[in-house]
Structure 1
Amino acid sequence: MSFFRVAVMLAAMTGLFLAVGYLIGGQSGMVIAFLVAGGMNLFAYWNSDKMVLRMHNAREVDERSAPDLYGIVRQLTQRGGLPMPKVYVIDTPQPNAFATGRNPQNAAVAATTGLMRALTPQELAGVMAHELAHVRHHDTLTMTLTATLAGAISMLANFAFFFGGNRDNNNPLGAVGMILMMILAPLAAMMVQMAISRTAEYRADRGGAEICGQPLWLASALEKIERAARGIENPTAEQNPATAHLFIINPLNGHRMDNLFTTHPSTANRVAKLRALASADLAQPRPQRGPWG
């Protein structure tokens, strides 16, 4: 997705936030909503990575504590021309991974212990290359901001639904229109978030294939992670469903209703695109010998 389209979508979400603020408190409510949105985005910009890593009890590792994982990430960053990110491990049997951070200079990648046990070194390289592609494209910042705005819109809409809008603000929508706005605004915000997240996943799949040089490594890993995620619960992710879109595969296994509208595209479609990429041989040059063998 182009920068222009992402900017338009973020602007649309900000507009929704201001509209709900107007319905609650008129012009003053819109001003307050604007200030709140700015404050939340500023806070998310500087602190979202720390918050997400803390939510999932991630621990930072280095070359001594996790030599295989750290070595793979270091080799991939060299191939991709990226700064070395911080590397984290999450103690959970569900295989999964995510990237976070406001820019490539302040990025972090995290892999679960289940991921390192379930995948071959080649497949692990494919997954970490995917996460580094997110870092390269600044997807982590974009998805964090959309998640923050979507959550704020839902919060404001719920507030307006229970306490009602300002009855002295000459609202042109009327009572029925206001109620519809309270219902449709969070849904519209969710749809925008889904569009951004799904497009980012496809682009990161392609970018990761180009970084590691082997699209089929990532394709094989996605199939394994998808099968395991259905049967292995990630309790921390279930408690924090707002972070589900950051993972390479949806970590919510269906015990909750939060994954009714998933932010991830079909794994089968992703695998098909990666296989087509491999067939077209678009991931040249071939990888140098690295820690994945």
Structure 2
Amino acid sequence: MAGSKFTPDRGLTGRMALTMFLLVLVYVAFVVGLVAAGLNIWLVLVIVLAFALFSYFSSDRIAMFAMGAKEVSPQQAPELHALIDRLCAMADMPKPRVGVADTDVPNAFATGHSQKAAVVCVTTGLMRRLDGQELEAVLAHELSHIAHRDVTVMTVAGFLGIVAGFLTQAGLRFAAFSGASRGNNNGPAPAVVALLVVLVSALAWALSFLLTRALSRYRELAADRAAAYLTGRPSALGSALTKITGDMSRIPSRDLRQVEPFNAFFFAPAFTKGFSLNSLIATHPPVERRLAQLSDISRQLGRGA
């Protein structure tokens, strides 16, 4: 975060470093496990490397395409660009590309494997619901993700889950078609190898899931803090968070299901009706905790005035 005026967060930096270290161990164990299960080592390495490179360098384009978002110019969205220009000047950071997704789901996200490739995207539903100060606070939150480089870490961290999920599905299909036939030279049956691949992949996915979810919750609190201190208006961010989470329940379930895969990158998670946060590990901390933190910052800024 060299040069940025966003508040440094040693806790976030430490957690990102620890997460990446543990994920490297998971990656190594993942490859070793697949080889032990009977897969060709070169095939494993090619698959893992191909997914890693594709996920890393294409994360911004994949996210924009999946959300149906389009990059917009200052002429197409002058007010949005003006807010981002102002925040980037305040934070002393390069301006990312700007995108807009035409959906009524009120949200925003930042993605990209580096600051140069970063993009900040907002939905039309978000811009309709928030006033200028609230929208600026949400944009500051997303820009802090880029400045802290946690967007890059989440992009890298998430790729193992994609690889493991792909291999799990492939292994299950292979096991279903291969049946109980024996392999060559009296080796293990293809179905046994496939099921071992599924087991290793599922374990790697579970570990990756736990690590990235823990980091995701902390990075949202860190982004809230950084945005509140940069703008000096934590109440505006709290108001935006209250509006967005309150209106989410009125969004059609079909629309929410379409964007749920991006919850880890969203300002606020989009959950379909009937979803229980207790049933899965959340991508975000509870709204009450985020609002309480913003209230504490508001009191700190008030005492310092």
TM interval, short-chain normalised: 0.7 to 0.9
Q: What does residue 298 of structure 2 align with?
A: 278
Q: Is the 8 A contact 2:19 2:212 kept in 1?
A: no
Q: Is the 8 A contact 2:165 2:202 kept in 1?
A: no
1:169-184 aligned at under 5 Å gives the runs: 181=200, 183-184=202-203
Q: What does residue 65 of structure 1 align with?
A: 76
Shift of 1:234: 7.1
Q: What does residue 199 of structure 1 align with?
A: 218
CA distance in 1, matches of 2:129, 2:254: 19
Q: Secondary structure at the match of 2:37?
A: helix
- Paired residue total: 279
Shift of 1:124: 0.5
Q: What does residue 22 of structure 1 align with?
A: 35
Which range moved further: 193-202 or 112-121? 193-202
Shift of 1:180: 5.9
Q: Is the 8 A contact 2:26 2:208 kept in 1?
A: yes
Moved over 3 A (4+): 157-164, 166-169, 174-185, 233-237, 239-242, 254-261
Query: Percent of aligned pairs with the same residue?
Result: 30
When residues 177 and 153 of structure 1 are mapped into structure 2, their CA distance, relative to the original with a 3 A threshold, is closer
Shift of 1:230: 2.3
CA distance in 1, matches of 2:303, 2:61: 33
Which of the pair has more CA radius of gyration? 2
Cα root mean square deviation, aligned: 3.2
In the alignment, which of 79, 87, 91 is matched to residue 80 of structure 1? Answer: 91
Q: What does residue 53 of structure 1 align with?
A: 64
Q: Is the 8 A contact 2:107 2:126 kept in 1?
A: yes
**Are positions 1:38 and 2:49 aligned together?**
yes
Q: What does residue 264 of structure 2 align with?
A: 245
CA distance in 2, matches of 1:184, 1:33: 16
Shift of 1:5: 0.9
Shift of 1:134: 0.5
TM-score (norm 1): 0.83
1:126-275 aligned at under 5 Å gives the runs: 126-161=137-172, 163=174, 168=187, 181=200, 183-233=202-252, 235=254, 238-239=257-258, 241-254=260-273, 260-275=280-295
Unmatched segments (≥5 aa) in structure 1: 287-293
In the alignment, which of 133, 146, 158 is matched to residue 122 of structure 1? Answer: 133
- What amino acid is aligned across from residue 55 of structure 2 in structure 1? A
Q: Is the 8 A contact 1:20 1:157 kept in 2?
A: no
CA distance in 1, matches of 2:149, 2:196: 37
CA distance in 2, matches of 1:179, 1:97: 35
CA distance in 2, matches of 1:120, 1:279: 23
CA distance in 2, matches of 1:72, 1:90: 17
Shift of 1:117: 1.0
When residues 63 and 185 of structure 1 are mapped into structure 2, their CA distance, relative to the original with a 3 A threshold, is closer
In the alignment, which of 12, 19, 26 is matched to residue 13 of structure 1? Answer: 26
TM-score (norm 2): 0.80
Q: Secondary structure at the match of 2:21?
A: helix
